[in-house]
Amino acid sequence: MASIPQPRRPRASAATLPPHPAAESPNPLAPSRVFLLARAPPPPLLHLPQFVTEAKIKVGRPPYLVLPGPPPLVVAAVAQPPVATMCGILAVLGVADVSLAKRSRIIELSRRLRHRGPDWSGIHTYQDCYLAHQRLAIVDPTSGDQPLYNEDKSVVVTVNGEIYNHEELKANLKSHQFQTGSDCEVIAHLYEEYGEEFVDMLDGMFSFVLLDTRDKSFIAARDAIGICPLYMGWGLDGSVWFSSEMKALSDDCERFISFPPGHLYSSKTGDLRRWYNPPWFSESIPSTPYNPLLIRESFEKAVIKRLMTDVPFGVLLSGGLDSSLVASVVSRHLAETKVARQWGNQLHTFCIGLKGSPDLKAAKEVADYLGTVHHELHFTVQEGIDALEEVIYHIETYDVTTIRASTPMFLMSRKIKSLGVKMVLSGEGSDEIFGGYLYFHKAPNKKEFHEETCRKIKALHLYDCLRANKSTSAWGLEARVPFLDKNFINVAMDIDPEYKMIRRDLGRIEKWVLRNAFDDDEKPYLPKHILYRQKEQFSDGVGYSWIDGLKDHASEHVSDSMMMNASFVYPENTPTTKEAYYYRTVFEKFYPKNAARSTVPGGPSVACSTAKAVEWDAAWSKHLDPSGRAALGVHDAAYEDSLEKAPASADPVSESVFRPAHGESLAKTVAPAAAV
């Protein structure tokens, strides 16, 4: 296992490409237009699906694309790059009914996932097992369709995800022959080589189902943090179901659950087991000193590896710390990546908000500073309200925080896709890793602080990962999240949490360890005031009147008597506000089964805290709300009426107290362990 297996046929170079008939017989009235794709890439923000749809099918070998119009434009693909896909998968295994009607039903259910993969559909049938796939092609849209196979097609796999280290893995599979350029095909071959214990070798985001036809065994697995969604269900006939979204299971399964992240299911044992076992998972307190340069280098590597794409892409830029750092790192390194040679080295950034919102203003400033092509998108409160039912259908939750933030992201994704962009980078995960939510100001000690970050990361698949993936996938857009890189999480969670604590006496605000790591006076990543901008939750940052408008809308549809009887109507996760009640009624309309409502978490929360962290401040239990403004005495724009009523324990502090001194070097700002 030393080298990449040789391809089945040599790849032609530009010099050896045979002529195409269109070039051999040019129109005598006009010169023929024959171009190599490698020499004449489409311009940035070209609508790739339309580009391919309008082209005639590939002709001959090597593959050509003949674009319409006189004279014909022939594009020859010099080499087939890795095929990356974010898709929708549906697997049904061990059904009692193997009729054509059952196959048609599975295809019909798979179509419910077509928004995730509008580019192509595939299905593999083996006896009583069905593996279906809806493909979103990020590279080479005319090949690499799924399901994928090993050499003799005895192993079948349907995958939703991106495997960033696929080339390295292929290099160690010397005896295997790969049939496609897909980064996901490596899963079938790794299974052949290592059995079920290969999943931890994968670096990426994924959910997959693999069928071994030799003994009719199967496995299913989900990535470490749960970036890619996956649900598991059971039919009355004894069948086992897996799907990227609940909507493909909710009608035909008697029971279904959210597949836990970092887990693998094996039909051989009939149970789930956790394959992801990092040191932080035990929640024991780490003691490694803070190393700002290691944080910076690890994050930059995480961002760069996610530039594996051959379609137009961009960055979701809210103007907050996390998305701004993603955009800054991409801007710095884009020119040296392969994608720049195809799409150019100017980054496109996207932001959405109500006119005059905090995010729009900050995002434009960051975009101007980085020199990106910035797209400022607007929506109104009414447009957001009009989209609520569709959002809840796609997001598959009734959680208040998630719906508030998902709606503008859902609207933004539609506009981004209309520009021909198919992949975006986003800043999810940083607040969970570094304790960035404003309620962390009240963490009583480093043990409580660290345990809360662990709880938040473990629950990400139910909140921010779910929102980021499903809001974008609703429009066939893929979101990548570098903060949730496995290696970066290990580095960040290995830091002694004393360094992450908010220390007013030392001038440390939330996420100081991250801000300080990128505070470079010689070659600044961001303007100082952006680098140290206070945490603003997405649903707040798009405009404070957005949440207020949602509450007003819910009040018009939910009466006091409905709230009085809420515990009888919804005994599980009983809604405590009219807004929560309204979302619940919409959710139940689409997903009425008990199994569906059980996939959504519940419990008291303030400013996105877990129920445990609500105990950190007695005042919070009287003002439970997931908005960042509910962090009384911490958020600069906290609810004014609440601040007036808040007891002294809320300890209001001005913004200047939290803002650290600027202009100091990394060495000067890192406090020694003894002083922390």
Among the listed residues 87, 228, 465, 608, the single catalytic one is: 87
Angle between helices 400-418 and 578-590 (to 10 degrees): 60
- pLDDT of res. 137: 66
Helix, strand and coil percent figures for the chain, each rounded to 5: 40, 15, 45
Q: Is 136 helix (H, G, I), strand (E, B) or coil?
A: coil
Give the pLDDT score at 640. Answer: 46
Average pLDDT, the chain: 82
**The overall pTM is greater than 0.85:** no
CA dist., res. 300 & res. 330, Å (int):
8
Spatial distance between the Cα atoms of 307 and 326, rounded to a whole number of angstroms? 11
CA separation for the pair 281, 584 (Å, rounded):
32
Longest CA–CA separation in the chain, Å:
87
CB 289 within 8 A of CB 498: no
| Confidence (pLDDT) at 411 | 97
- 87 included as an active-site residue: yes
The DSSP secondary-structure symbol of 281 reads: G
Q: Which residues of the chain have pLDDT under 70?
A: 1-86, 137-145, 535-541, 543, 607, 621-676
Res 91: pLDDT: 97
d(CA 500, CA 441): 10
Residue 32: the pLDDT is 32
What is the per-residue pLDDT across 550-609, written as a single tens digit (0 to 9) for each? 999 999 999 999 999 999 999 999 999 999 999 999 999 999 999 999 999 987 777 687
